[in-house]
Amino acid sequence: MTNPNTYSEAVRQSLQDPESFWLSAAEAVDWYVKPSRALSHEGTSSGTWFPDGTLNTCVNALDRHVAAGHGDRTALVYDSAMVPTQRTYSYRELLDEVSRFAGVLSGQDVVTGDRVVIYMPMIPETVIAMLACARIGAVHSVVFGGFAAEELAKRIDDAEPVALVTASGGLEPTRRVEYLPIVSEALRLSERAPKAVIAKRREGFTAAPDQGWLDWDAAIADALPADPVPVRATDPLYILYTSGTTDKPKGVVRDNGGHAVAMTWSMRNIYGIGPGEVMWAASDVGWVVGHSYIVYAPLLVGATTLLYEGKPTGTPDAGAFWRVAADHHVNALFTAPTALRAIRKEDPDAALAADHDLTGLRAVFVAGERLDPSTYEWTTTALGLPVIDHWWQTETGWAISANPWGMDGMPVKPGSSSVPMPGYDVQVVNESGEPVGPGVEGSIVIGLPLPPGTLAGLWRGEDRFQRSYLAAFPGKYSTGDSGYLDEDGYLFVLGRSDDVINVAGHRLSTGRMEAVVSAHPAVAECAVIGIADQLKGQRPSGYVVLKADATVAPEKLRAEVVQLVRDRIGAVAAFRDLTVVDALPKTRSGKILRKVMRHITAGEEYTVPSTIDDSGVLVGLHERLSPDLAQ
Ligand code: COA
Ligand code: AMP
């Protein structure tokens, strides 16, 4: 049986007969043991996919293309605007490097099921390390390079890796970020430090590795290539930590089989990319977009993937993206609205785009945060191309709602992330969990089971998985986002309904920031909320009540708290705003009313909850947070 090639038929079949829809999609993957069934409910509340299948994800991404005679085809293009340099890997070359690095890991006693933490910048060795783990059935956990030592240590303690792979550092426009001291500090803070650390040397960095750490180049030079290890479809491929509402990150677990099937299906049917074509996801390998659409999906379908180290502006100018797209004949570009806003700010007439030959580019895909209609209009006009918004999360690994561009496509509606993808039973519900009608805002939930490729659970966190995703609306997965469906079934995502914020397309926890801000000795209590930001979509804003005996001047306090957040979470938190207030609005039980604070700062109407402790606090807050409104 073949998968349907129209959107409506694909959705119908995926929901009415998921077995045959996904078994047919699984035909695109090479299995050691082909799955005899798609879905199992045994032992899980949310279902597992392809329970009796075995495969190897690295074999699907590399070996099979070489075996099919495509070894000379380009697998990976590395383009760094920071060094600057360009390098190309054929499928054969990438397979060779990956097999040998898998040999390095095996030589360090890493075996199937062991975890390997990867703390690396945007260089080819990061992709090689990830695929090498997949080859031997080890579970990688990539930590974004913008996180500080304490965040890295938390992830090490949770994942308990046998090895850690790193590099000398990363390049930001105004500074070099030395990774080795961060790794050293993280290992010092960690209670579960790995036995082996392997570091890739990069020119221009000064910090030396600690004693006993292996040098990547020396280790790989002597390594014997490792053969791929068959794993069960349900075995974990990776853990990716993401921000929840508390200060402890959530380790999203991705399986091998469902992931390979979903990645392959989505690459072809959403992005319209097939063998030999060029996919560029201008994200970072440390985020889910990087995992799915820089590393796995393009290679699984035999396409070329582009790994870009640089920013959309200032490297060297706001034409950086168009130069890269033209140089490498990119067919599909995936980026975040923030990046487009940054380009627009510096090149409002898109003159730099017109300087480049973008005829290969067929569409621009955006995700990570809401695509505001103005950025949508500007990009569509500037490039004369379809601009396709799609909505998803680290948890789902691929789009929940998108435009089936590689199938028959759907008309684009500005402000909407388009229509639910096959396998996702998307509903908008009220507080009691009842579906609401078209145009009515509510919580966005997904009926179970979630399709293949979505989270297989939280790492050692079954209770938290239940509490975070399944408890609010039993039988349904809570996305944490709110929005509405229109009469045509298009989904409009309006934003998070919890305390997670999205800063420049980076998902961050205000709970974690609050834990750090409260650690300042002058702070009695605090709240951090996300407020609107013209460039970054949202930015964190902190409100503190000082201890009675605190004498620190507000400006000094702000500088100290900003530095504290930078040191303990990382520069990526982009925490800069701090306001001292007399009190925070709370319920009688002492819960801070962050939602009310968000409404005040946005100048919006709100209803004072009947459980509020002291409405006088609100008057004071209005004066501080929004003085114009208070008059
Ligand atoms: N390593 C170390 N530091 C990092 C980092 C990394 N990998 N990534 C970001 N940072 C630092 C930045 O240097 C900056 O530091 P600074 O305060 O010293 O200037 C800080 O974290 C904040 O970074 P950011 O919020 O990204 O702001 P920016 O001004 O550097 O860049 C954009 C703004 C819009 C260009 C950038 O955020 C962007 O390209 N965003 C798109 C993100 C994305 O692709 N998300 C994935 C979903 S598709
Ligand atoms: P992350 O897990 O980092 O990918 O962040 C997921 C969150 O980003 C979602 O829950 C949304 O809040 C937000 N998000 C992602 N894509 C979109 C989109 N297309 N429109 C609106 N919000 C989005």
- The residue whose CB lies within 8 Å of the most ligand 1 atoms, and thus the one to mutate among 506, 539, 567, is 506
| pLDDT(380) > 60 | yes
Given the CA of residue 571, which atom of ligand 1 is nearest to it?
A: 21
Q: What integer pLDDT is reported at residue 232 of this predicted model?
A: 98
- The token duo for 63 is 């070996």
| pLDDT(618) > 80 | no
Q: What are phi and psi of 140, to 5 degrees?
A: -85, 155
Which helix (H) or strand (E) covers residue 117, if one does?
strand 115-119
Question: Could you report the per-residue pLDDT of 250-308, keeping only the tens digit for each?
Answer: 999 999 999 999 999 999 999 999 999 999 999 999 999 999 999 999 999 999 999 99
Identify the residue whose C-alpha is closest to ligand 2 atom 15.
368
Q: Report the separation in Å between the CA atom of 273 and the middle of ligand 2, taken as the mean of its atom positions.
A: 23
SS3 for 532-597 is: EECCCEEEEEEEEEECCCCCCCHHHHHHHHHHHHHHHCCHHHCCCEEEECCCCCEECCCCECHHHH
Question: Could you report the per-residue pLDDT of 405-423, keeping only the tens digit for each?
Answer: 999 989 999 999 899 999 9
| pLDDT(142) > 50 | yes
| pLDDT(627) > 60 | no
Identify the residue whose C-alpha is closest to ligand 1 atom 13.
172
Q: Report the separation in Å between the CA atom of 542 and the middle of ligand 1, taken as the mean of its atom positions.
A: 20
Q: Which ligand is nearest to the CA of 250?
A: 2
- Taken in order of first residue, the domains within the chain and their CATH numbers are 91-255 (3.40.50.980), 256-410 (3.40.50.12780), 425-497 (2.30.38.10), 498-629 (3.30.300.30)
Amino acid at the residue 68:
A
Identify the residue whose C-alpha is closest to ligand 1 atom 39.
339
Q: Report the separation in Å between the CA atom of 587 and the middle of ligand 2, taken as the mean of its atom positions.
A: 29
User: Average model confidence (pLDDT) for the chain?
Assistant: 94
pTM, two decimals, is 0.96
How far apart CA 98 and CA 77 sit, in angstroms, is: 15
| pLDDT(44) > 60 | yes
Position 629 confidence tier, pLDDT thresholds 50, 70, 90? very low
Distances (CA, A) of 290 to 123, 233, 294, 409, 570: 12, 22, 5, 24, 19
Percent of the chain with pLDDT over 70: 97
Q: Which ligand is nearest to the CA of 400?
A: 2
Q: What integer pLDDT is reported at residue 606 of this predicted model?
A: 72
Q: What integer pLDDT is reported at residue 492 of this predicted model?
A: 97
Position 46 confidence tier, pLDDT thresholds 50, 70, 90? confident
Q: Report the separation in Å between the CA atom of 195 and the middle of ligand 1, taken as the mean of its atom positions.
A: 31
Q: What integer pLDDT is reported at residue 612 of this predicted model?
A: 64
Q: Report the separation in Å between the CA atom of 391 and the middle of ligand 2, taken as the mean of its atom positions.
A: 6
Q: Which ligand is nearest to the CA of 312?
A: 1
Q: Report the separation in Å between the CA atom of 51 and the middle of ligand 1, taken as the mean of its atom positions.
A: 39
Q: What integer pLDDT is reported at residue 631 of this predicted model?
A: 39
Q: C-alpha angle 371/373/379, rounded to 5°?
A: 80
Least confident of 167-176, 397-406, 494-503, 618-627: 618-627
How far apart CA 24 and CA 582 sit, in angstroms, is: 62
Mean pLDDT of 127-144: 98
Find out whether 264 and 25 touch, Cβ atoms under 8 Å. Answer: yes
Find out whether 285 and 142 touch, Cβ atoms under 8 Å. Answer: yes
Q: What integer pLDDT is reported at residue 363 of this predicted model?
A: 97
Distances (CA, A) of 80 to 123, 173, 307, 434: 8, 12, 8, 50
Q: Which ligand is nearest to the CA of 120?
A: 1
Mean pLDDT of 186-191: 98
Residues in Cβ contact with 76 at an 8 Å cutoff, skipping those fewer than 6 apart: 88, 89, 94, 124, 127, 299, 304, 305, 306, 307
DSSP 417: -
Q: What are phi and psi of 223, to 5 degrees?
A: -80, 145
Rg (CA), the chain: 24
Question: Could you report the per-residue pLDDT of 201-253, keeping only the tens digit for each?
Answer: 999 999 999 999 999 999 999 899 999 999 999 999 999 999 988 878 999 99
Least confident of 520-529, 599-608, 610-619: 610-619
Position 611 confidence tier, pLDDT thresholds 50, 70, 90? low
| pLDDT(481) > 80 | yes
Question: Could you report the per-residue pLDDT of 492-549, keeping only the tens digit for each?
Answer: 999 998 889 999 999 999 999 999 999 999 999 999 999 999 999 999 999 999 999 9
Given the CA of residue 334, which atom of ligand 1 is nearest to it?
A: 48
Q: Which ligand is nearest to the CA of 336?
A: 1
Given the CA of residue 536, which atom of ligand 1 is nearest to it?
A: 34
Q: What integer pLDDT is reported at residue 609 of this predicted model?
A: 67
Position 614 confidence tier, pLDDT thresholds 50, 70, 90? low
Mean pLDDT of 326-335: 98
Question: Could you report the per-residue pLDDT of 55-84, keeping only the tens digit for each?
Answer: 999 999 999 999 999 999 999 999 999 999
- Residues near ligand 2 with C-beta < 6 Å? 242, 287-288, 367-371, 389-394, 417, 480-481, 493, 496, 502, 507
How far apart CA 115 and CA 599 sit, in angstroms, is: 43
Percent of the chain with pLDDT over 90: 88
- Residues near ligand 1 with C-beta < 6 Å? 145-146, 170, 172, 177, 283-284, 287, 289, 311-312, 336, 338-339, 342, 367-368, 503-505, 536, 571-572, 574
Distances (CA, A) of 88 to 72, 84, 271, 607: 11, 14, 23, 58
Q: Report the separation in Å between the CA atom of 106 and the middle of ligand 1, taken as the mean of its atom positions.
A: 34
